[in-house]
Structure formats: C-alpha cells, structure tokens
C-alpha cells in the first residue's frame, strides 16, 4: 500500500517536472535573449490565470506559477502581446527594435529544439525500448470480407497503404492516416505474399478507422462494470481470456462476436489468472442502451506490454526527423479530413499530454524521455506558426515593421492577440474534453498494464 502511494507520487512528480521543464526551457529562451538584447523583463510565468505562488527577485522580475497549465509567458513590455494576458504596458518604456523582437521570439522554440536534442542524445546512449508486437493476424471472422478474400489467422501484414510495417501499431497508424476507406494491404503467408484492397471501418472506441483485423493475442480484462455479468460470475481485473463457450480466444473482435452469439445463454469462460487456469459460467445480457449483448468488461489486447531494448538507440537526428515526419503525416491527414476521418477532436490537449506522459513514466522512464522529444519538437514548430499570441505572430509583425517601416497599430495588436488567445484556449478545452471522455478509459487501461523490457542478445540498431 505504501509502496503504491510512493509510486503514484513518483509518477505525478515526474509528469510535473517533465512538462514544467519543457515549458520552462521555452520561456527561459525568451528571457535569456531579452536580457542579452538589453530589453526590460518584468515577469516570468509558468501557466496562465491566477497565481499559485510567486516571488520577486533582486532585479525586480516577478516569477510565478499559475493555475492553467497550458504554457507560460515572459512579461516583456517592449513586445507586449495583450493587456488581457500580461497586464498593461508602461508607456515610459520605449519599444524594442523589430530585430530584437525577432531574436527574442525565435529563442523560445530554439531552446525547445536544443532541449529535444539533449534528451535524444541521452536516449541514443542509454537505448530505447521498442514495442515487440509483430503484425501477425489473429482471429478472422468466418463470414467477413477478409475471410472470403482468403486471409487467415497467422498471416503477417507486410505493407499498409504502401508503407512497410514492422509492428501492429504501424498497421493501425497507417490505416488511420490513409486518405481512403479502401486501403491496399500486402499480407504474407510463409514465403509468398498477396495483395488485397481492404475496407476500413470506424472504431467506436477510438473514433478512427481501423482494418477489420485483430492481432493474435488473448484479450485481458482491464475493468469490470459494477453489477455486470462478468463481475457476478467471479471474473477479475487482469484475467486473460483463453476460451469462451469452448472456442479458443485469439482476438478482441472474436471475443465480442462470441459474447453476442451467447445472448441470454450461459457460457463457459476459461481465463488465465496469474499462473492458474480457471473456469466460470457467464451469461451475456442485452444492454438496453446499445441493444447488444455485453458481459460488463473493458478489455485490452494484452496485460503485458513487451519491449526490446535497442542499444544504442536511434540517433538524435533520426528521433527529431521522425517526429517532424509524423507531424507532417498528421497535418496531411487533417488537411484531407473527409478522406481520412481525422479531425481536431482526435488531437490531444494538456489533459492528453499529461495522461500519455504519466502512462510512459509508469511504464519506463526512457519511454517518457522519448515522448518529451516529441513534445518539445511539437512545441517549437507550433509556436512558430504566424498567429498572434504565438512566437510566429511576433516574428510576422516584426517583419511587417521592417518591410513597411511602420509598426502594427497597438489597438489592432491587442484585439488580434486577445482574440487568438481565446480561440487557442477554447481549442485546448475542446480537445481536452475528448481526452477525458473518449481517451480517459484508454489511459486508465495503460496504468494497469505490466511492462517487460527485454535486453537484446547483442547490440542492435533502431529501425
């Protein structure tokens, strides 16, 4: 009990430190460059809104931690963004030159890139755990289109949408990002390969399209509905399904089909609990809301996540370029939202970032460091967008002043910055809503999964 409390405290503290460090280095870049350019600095804040605590240093700079953990700011009256955000400017302070404002705006994203490179260098030295989840197909529904095409359990997925896959996560990612519901898929059986065009369907849990294929695995119970058939029968969290109604269970979709086929009928369920096989009798019940049979469980593909440590890890350049490539894929998917089904609600805000970071810390600190690389590269690129309230907006307005030799009207700057701040915070609230409602149970399931890190038998290179 005490050990569990210490572990939870460790996870919470690590998330606060990691996320806070990413915001801090960004803002410190602005702070350091402003001092270097001899600009007036009045405040340094992590977060927005009312202060949690703060202090004033000998130079008169007010340092503060604020309640809304959506970023931070350095109060620079010579390049003030908005009175609403940072307070009123002192008219006695002369404006900074556009060149100084550009340098200060660039320094924040640059510090995030340097921080990402530093973390990536550590990962390169200590190694990176890579999921061991080969793209082996499990259950294939007998009457499905996939079965009629000749796809069978044990086949291996080689390519999805023309891209090589090495693990099941690649199968899912390339399917989500594909710009069509019908996707070319290359599948191998033994030494021969076959090409198919498969139709993806929207998964009700993720809200994104996935292929109608399961990985070969035994689903595990991650949560039990109070008063559900499974709980009443004696099933427990972490039980691993071995068979249902006498049929071996090899995938989630198959298990769902087996449950629905036994509506109102008792079925013998065999599970693996720790090192023991146990059998229970469960009667699926029709859910009045959805009209389908359920037993009241939340399932995950596996209770144990297996990783293999790759040492040395990918080079810093490979890690940074990989993140940039994934961002490009996401932007392309969003730009073709009608074809891909990917929209703003599928992005993550502060809640999703905290949840993913906490899950990675809980699993292995090296996974959390890898996520920090991605987070800092994202912060750098997003902050360079030419929008008021972001660093790119400062750069755009400074370039306008250099080209036209006229400064942007203070009233226009105030209105534009305040408006975009409202839009940005509203967007964060929007995506955070889906983080809680749709992805909350997934983050909860992550914490209940065990992680096994396998050491490689010999030095390996990251793919």
Q: Are residues 117 and 169 located together in one domain of the fold?
A: no
CA 124 → CA 11, 314, 452, distances in Å?
23, 6, 20
pLDDT score for 459: 43
pLDDT score for 438: 64
Question: For residues 182 and 425, what is the distance between their CA atoms, to the nearest angstrom?
Answer: 36
Q: Note whether residue 185 is domain-resident.
A: yes
Domain that holds residue 15: 2-122+366-450
pLDDT score for 313: 86
Q: Are residues 197 and 226 located together in one domain of the fold?
A: no
Question: For residues 27 and 338, what is the distance between their CA atoms, to the nearest angstrom?
Answer: 37
Which are the contacts of 109, defined by CB distance < 8 A and separation ≥ 6? 26, 29, 379, 380, 381, 383, 384, 391
- For the chain, the domain total comes to 3
Burial class of 239 by CB neighbour count within 10 A (0 to 12, 13 to 18, 19+): buried
pLDDT per residue rounded down to tens, the chain (463 residues):
566 778 778 888 888 888 888 989 999 999 999 999 988 888 888 887 788 888 888 888 888 888 877 678 888 887 766 555 555 555 567 778 889 999 999 999 999 999 999 999 999 999 988 877 778 887 777 788 888 888 888 889 999 998 998 888 788 889 888 888 889 999 998 888 889 899 888 866 567 788 888 777 778 887 888 888 888 889 888 888 877 887 667 667 677 878 887 888 888 888 888 777 788 998 888 887 777 788 888 877 665 667 788 888 899 999 999 899 888 888 888 887 777 777 777 777 777 788 888 888 888 889 999 999 999 999 999 999 988 878 898 899 889 889 998 888 777 877 887 788 788 878 877 877 777 766 665 556 555 556 677 666 444 444 3
The sign one gets for the Cα dihedral 243, 247, 249, 252 is negative
Domain boundary (161, 186, 214) is at 214
Domain boundary (181, 199, 214) is at 214
Distance of CA 115 to the CA centre of its chain: 19
Q: Are residues 240 and 193 located together in one domain of the fold?
A: no
Question: pTM to 2 decimals?
Answer: 0.75
Q: Note whether residue 345 is domain-resident.
A: no
Domain boundary (190, 214, 238) is at 214
Q: Are residues 117 and 41 located together in one domain of the fold?
A: yes
Q: Are residues 113 and 150 located together in one domain of the fold?
A: no
Question: For residues 6 and 422, what is the distance between their CA atoms, to the nearest angstrom?
Answer: 38
Q: Are residues 192 and 237 located together in one domain of the fold?
A: no
Q: Are residues 112 and 25 located together in one domain of the fold?
A: yes
Q: Describe the strand order of the beta sheet including 156-160 as a list of residue ranges.
A: 163-164, 156-160, 182-189, 192-199
Q: Which residues is 290 bridged to in the sheet?
A: none
Q: Are residues 65 and 106 located together in one domain of the fold?
A: yes
pLDDT score for 326: 86
Q: Note whether residue 353 is domain-resident.
A: no
Question: For residues 250 and 27, what is the distance between their CA atoms, to the nearest angstrom?
Answer: 50
Return the structure tokens found at 82: 């908005």
CATH at residue 154: 2.30.42.10
Q: Note whether residue 229 is domain-resident.
A: yes
Q: Note whether residue 396 is domain-resident.
A: yes
Burial class of 461 by CB neighbour count within 10 A (0 to 12, 13 to 18, 19+): exposed
366-377 burial by CB neighbour count: b if 16+ within 10 A, else e? bbbbbbbbbbbb
Q: Are residues 170 and 280 located together in one domain of the fold?
A: no
Contact indicator for 82, 418 with CB cutoff of 8 Å? yes
Q: Are residues 181 and 116 located together in one domain of the fold?
A: no
Q: Note whether residue 308 is domain-resident.
A: no
């Amino acid at each position: 009990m005490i050990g569990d409390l210490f572990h939870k405290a460790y996870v919470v503290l690590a998330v606060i430190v990691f996320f806070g460090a990413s915001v801090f280095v960004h803002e410190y870049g602005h702070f350091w460059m402003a001092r270097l350019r001899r600009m007036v600095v009045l405040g340094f804040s992590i977060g927005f809104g009312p202060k949690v605590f703060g202090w004033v240093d000998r130079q008169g700079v007010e340092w503060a931690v604020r309640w809304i953990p959506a970023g931070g700011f350095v109060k620079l009256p010579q390049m003030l963004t908005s009175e609403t955000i940072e307070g009123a400017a002192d008219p006695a302070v002369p404006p900074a030159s556009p060149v100084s404002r550009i340098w200060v705006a660039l320094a924040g994203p640059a510090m995030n890139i340097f921080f990402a490179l530093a973390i990536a260098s550590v990962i390169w030295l200590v190694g990176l755990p890579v999921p061991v989840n080969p793209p082996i197909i499990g259950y294939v529904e007998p009457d499905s289109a996939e079965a009629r095409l000749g796809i069978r359990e044990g086949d291996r997925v080689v390519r999805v949408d023309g891209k090589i896959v090495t693990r099941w996560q690649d199968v899912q990612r390339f399917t989500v990002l594909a710009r069509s519901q019908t996707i070319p898929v290359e599948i191998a059986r033994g030494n021969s390969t076959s090409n198919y065009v498969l139709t993806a369907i929207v998964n009700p849990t993720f809200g994104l399209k996935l292929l109608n294929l399961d990985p070969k695995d035994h689903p595990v119970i991650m949560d039990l509905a109070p008063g559900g058939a499974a709980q009443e029968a004696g099933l427990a969290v972490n039980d691993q399904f071995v068979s249902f109604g006498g049929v071996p269970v090899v995938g989630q979709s198959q298990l769902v089909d087996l449950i629905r086929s036994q509506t109102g009928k008792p079925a013998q369920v065999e599970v693996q609990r720790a090192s023991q096989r146990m059998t229970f009798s469960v009667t699926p019940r029709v859910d009045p809301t959805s009209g389908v049979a359920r037993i009241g469980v939340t399932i995950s593909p596996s209770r144990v996540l297996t990783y293999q440590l790759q040492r040395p890890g990918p080079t810093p350049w490979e890690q940074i370029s990989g993140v940039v490539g994934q961002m490009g894929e996401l932007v392309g998917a969003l730009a073709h939202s009608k074809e891909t089904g990917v929209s703003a609600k599928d992005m993550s805000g502060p809640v999703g970032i905290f949840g993913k970071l906490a899950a990675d810390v809980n699993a292995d600190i090296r996974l959390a460091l890898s996520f920090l690389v991605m987070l800092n590269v994202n912060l750098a690129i997003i902050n360079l967008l030419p929008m008021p309230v972001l660093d790119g907006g400062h750069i755009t307005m400074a370039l306008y002043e250099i080209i036209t030799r006229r400064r942007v009207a203070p009233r226009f700057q105030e209105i534009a910055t305040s408006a975009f701040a409202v839009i940005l915070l509203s967007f964060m609230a929007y995506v955070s809503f889906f983080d809680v409602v749709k992805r909350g149970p997934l983050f909860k399931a992550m914490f209940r999964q065990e992680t096994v890190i396998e050491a490689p038998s010999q030095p390996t290179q990251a793919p």
